[in-house]
Amino acid sequence: MNIVEKNLSGTPEKEFRNGVANDDAKRALVLLLKWIGEDPEREGLKETPKRVLKAYKEWFAGYNQNPSEILSKTFKEVQGYKEMISLKDISFHSFCEHHFAPIIGKVHIGYIPNKKVVGLSKLARLIEMFARRLQVQEKMTAEIGNSLQTHLDCLGVGVVVEAEHYCMCSRGIKKQGAVMKTKHFTGVILNDPEKKNEFMSSIS
Ligand code: ZN
């Protein structure tokens, strides 16, 4: 949420986001630059805190969105269609909440509708919304699955997330190329092995 405080002459004085003044956030970034050993005053870095805030607004836009908005428009006229709908290889970029390092990967998703379906672009937007928050892959996988299950009231959902964690490949134990895989199932995809197989083979 952006709030602009105005002074008596009506010109914008201070801009806030989620209760924090942009100037304070910029100062925090200047401190970080100093802390890593940089000179925040040098030419190439002068505008960096401002640019970082702008990028963060986009990378963390998911905090100001919610699934019920994204999944509010559904289609009911589907001629009784009741088979699985799946979408694979939806790419995403997120940041791990433990290190603020990138998580880059793909989501595969499937659901069995119960009278209503949702547009494919909405599935992609739902993933984007959760990815644009600080994340733990396990949590993001469950959040995507549970919100689809709740808002579509479908018969079952399957979600598989495969991602590389930059906190793991660039620091600490430095395991490059390791891909973490998480899964979340609900309803009949959770309980019926045949449906689970159908989902897994549809995304393989
Ligand atoms: Zn991490």
154 is catalytic: no
The pLDDT score that the predictor gives to residue 27 is 97
The pLDDT score that the predictor gives to residue 8 is 56
Task: Round to whole Å and give the CA distance between 163 and 175.
Answer: 13
Mean pLDDT of 150-157: 95
Task: Round to whole Å and give the CA distance between 162 and 92.
Answer: 10
Distance 98 CA to ligand 1 centre (A): 5
Task: Round to whole Å and give the CA distance between 59 and 130.
Answer: 11
Q: What is the pLDDT of residues 22-73, one digit of tens each?
A: 999 999 999 999 999 999 999 999 999 999 999 999 999 999 899 999 998 8
> From the candidates 99, 162, 164, 169, which is the catalytic residue?
99
Mean pLDDT of 185-189: 98
Confidence of residue 14 (pLDDT cuts 50, 70, 90): confident
167 is catalytic: yes
Q: Which of 6-20, 32-46, 120-134, 186-200 has the lowest mean pLDDT?
A: 6-20
Neighbouring C-alpha atoms within 13 Å toward the C-beta of 86: 24
Q: What are phi and psi of 62, to 5 degrees?
A: -65, -15
Task: Round to whole Å and give the CA distance between 163 and 169.
Answer: 11
Question: 94 or 82: which carries more pLDDT confidence?
Answer: 94
Distance 100 CA to ligand 1 centre (A): 7
Pairing label, strands 156-165, 180-186: antiparallel
